[in-house]
């Protein structure tokens, strides 16, 4: 290695790189400490790590009592996060995330020892090395695995709460090179900030989750009266969030929708049993009474300063309106219907189709998708419907996670 005095240009270049990395770390500190939902934070963290230390791929693992879980990963061509799995496991208290992941021995080793690992070239590791990585690392696609840098995220009690792993460092000529000792320091700084930010985000999420739990229980009361289980509103609210995200709405708006949409049928609490639980077809008068659940629900939720309850009020009132104006209670058409109600309408009908009712069998996932698509411009807003179609993969994973038994 050349000394700095022997090559002033190289020394200047190294200084510039250090300054750039320092600037980037300061920027990351500011960005990571701003309150944001956990999933947005994790995605942001990986992007920043790969900007500061250019590399082919990155992965982030979080630890809990069950072990280490891959929660977010990125490479050149794909970003993957298991938002739905996190939601299932952490928000809705259901299994659905990945279990402790023994497929990455490097991350497991770092989590166990609490020490970073800098592997210059995985091909030079002996067969007896316990953390020997798999040569066809799933994150790498067509790239050949060479160098790895992984560091622990350690909380203030000295407990390892996660592992951040970077794969194949790229230099300024885009050649794969080993991670340097300065890279180790940079990643350690990043992990220190990340550990605090992730902890704060998890605490904030915990608070939000207890809020959601309360809302789900209240909304379930209406569902139980209707003979439904609480599963309908869980699935339906997750579908709503997936569609809103596919429409490019902000994470905050999507989250508000996730919390607000379960209340769409809360007005059924005020519908008499004789109508709500009538086994046969309703008379015209009874149908009018039943349709009042929209107006009654909106009244129940009205007058709050809370954004979740305000949105819930709009959804309760508008979720049976139709794009073509043939819905109820007001026969609004097109953009007269608020957007959140247009999203909820699709999610609500789709879930009703995929579930058995006294008067009909359950349609299969693909069949229900086709039936929904056929209603573009009639029952449903074509733009929202396009977003629903584009989110098919995520919707299917929610459907599978809460599959009706």
Residues near Fe ion, by CB under 5 A: 265, 348
Nearer to Fe ion, 131 or 380 (CB): 380
Q: Is the Cβ–Cβ distance between 106 and 133 less than 8 Å?
A: yes
C-alpha 68/C-alpha 61 separation (Å) is 6
| CA-to-CA dists, residue 374 to 107, 175, 371, angstroms | 47, 51, 5
- Per-position DSSP letters for 85-123, written without gaps between them: HHIIIIIS--S-S----TT-HHHHHHHHH---EEES-GG
Minimum CB separation from Fe ion for residue 344, in Å? Answer: 8
**Which CB sits closer to Fe ion, 203 or 302?**
302
φ, ψ (nearest 5 deg) of residue 377: 80, -10
- The distance of closest approach from Cβ of residue 333 to Fe ion in the complex, given in angstroms and rounded to an integer, is 19
Exposed / middle / buried, residue 388 (Cβ in 10 Å: 0-12, 13-18, 19+): buried
Taking the complex as a whole, the smallest distance from the CB of residue 270 to Fe ion amounts, in Å, to: 13
Q: Whose structure tokens read 């309150």?
A: 35
- Measure the CA angle with vertex 269, ends 267 and 275; round to 5°: 95
How near is the Cβ of 247 to Fe ion at its closest, in Å? 20
Task: Give min distance, CB of 293 to Fe ion, in A.
Answer: 6
Residue whose CB is less far from Fe ion, 160 or 261: 261
What is residue 348's three-state secondary structure?
helix
- For residues 192 and 92, what is the distance between their CA atoms, to the nearest angstrom? 29
Q: Which is nearer to Fe ion, 39 or 265 (CB)?
A: 265
Which tokens in the block code for residue 327? 């819905």
- Which token pair is 7? 């090559």
**Could you list the active site residues?**
268
CB closer to Fe ion, 239 vs 369: 239
């Amino acid at each position: 290695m050349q000394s700095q005095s022997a090559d002033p240009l190289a020394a200047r270049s190294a200084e510039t790189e250090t300054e750039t990395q320092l600037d980037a770390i300061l920027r990351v500190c500011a960005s990571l400490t701003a309150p944001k939902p956990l999933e947005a934070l994790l995605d942001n963290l990986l992007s920043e790590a790969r900007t500061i230390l250019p590399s082919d791929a990155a992965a982030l693992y979080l630890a809990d009592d069950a072990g280490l879980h891959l929660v977010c990963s990125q490479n050149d061509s794909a970003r993957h996060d298991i938002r739905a799995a996190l939601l299932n496991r952490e928000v809705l208290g259901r299994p659905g995330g990945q279990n402790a992941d023994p497929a990455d021995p490097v991350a497991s080793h770092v989590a166990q020892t609490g020490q970073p690992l800098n592997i210059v070239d995985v091909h030079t590791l002996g067969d007896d090395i316990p953390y020997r990585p798999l040569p066809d690392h799933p994150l790498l696609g067509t790239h050949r695995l060479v160098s790895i840098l992984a560091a622990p995220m350690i909380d203030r009690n000295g407990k390892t709460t996660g592992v951040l792993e970077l794969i194949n460092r790229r230099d300024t000529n885009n050649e794969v090179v080993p991670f340097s000792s300065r890279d180790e320091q940079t990643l350690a700084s990043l992990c220190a900030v990340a550990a605090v930010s992730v902890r704060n985000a998890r605490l904030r999420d915990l608070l939000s989750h207890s809020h959601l739990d309360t809302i789900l229980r209240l909304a379930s009361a209406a569902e139980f009266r209707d003979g439904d289980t609480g599963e309908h509103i869980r699935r339906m609210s997750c579908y709503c969030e997936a569609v809103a995200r596919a429409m490019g709405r902000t994470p905050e708006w999507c989250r508000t929708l996730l919390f607000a949409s379960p209340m769409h049928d809360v007005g059924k609490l005020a519908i008499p049993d004789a109508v709500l639980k009538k086994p046969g077809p309703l008379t015209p008068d009874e149908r009018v009474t039943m349709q009042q659940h929209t107006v009654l629900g909106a009244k129940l939720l009205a007058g709050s300063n809370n954004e979740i309850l305000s949105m819930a009020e709009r959804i309760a009132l508008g979720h049976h309106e139709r794009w073509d104006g043939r819905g109820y209670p007001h026969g609004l058409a097109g953009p007269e219907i608020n957007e959140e109600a247009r999203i909820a309408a699709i999610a609500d009908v789709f879930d009703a189709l995929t579930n058995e009712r006294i008067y009909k069998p359950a349609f299969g996932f693909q069949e229900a998708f086709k039936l929904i698509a056929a209603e573009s411009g009639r029952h449903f807003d074509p733009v929202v419907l396009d977003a629903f179609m584009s989110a098919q993969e995520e919707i299917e994973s929610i459907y599978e996670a809460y599959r009706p038994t």
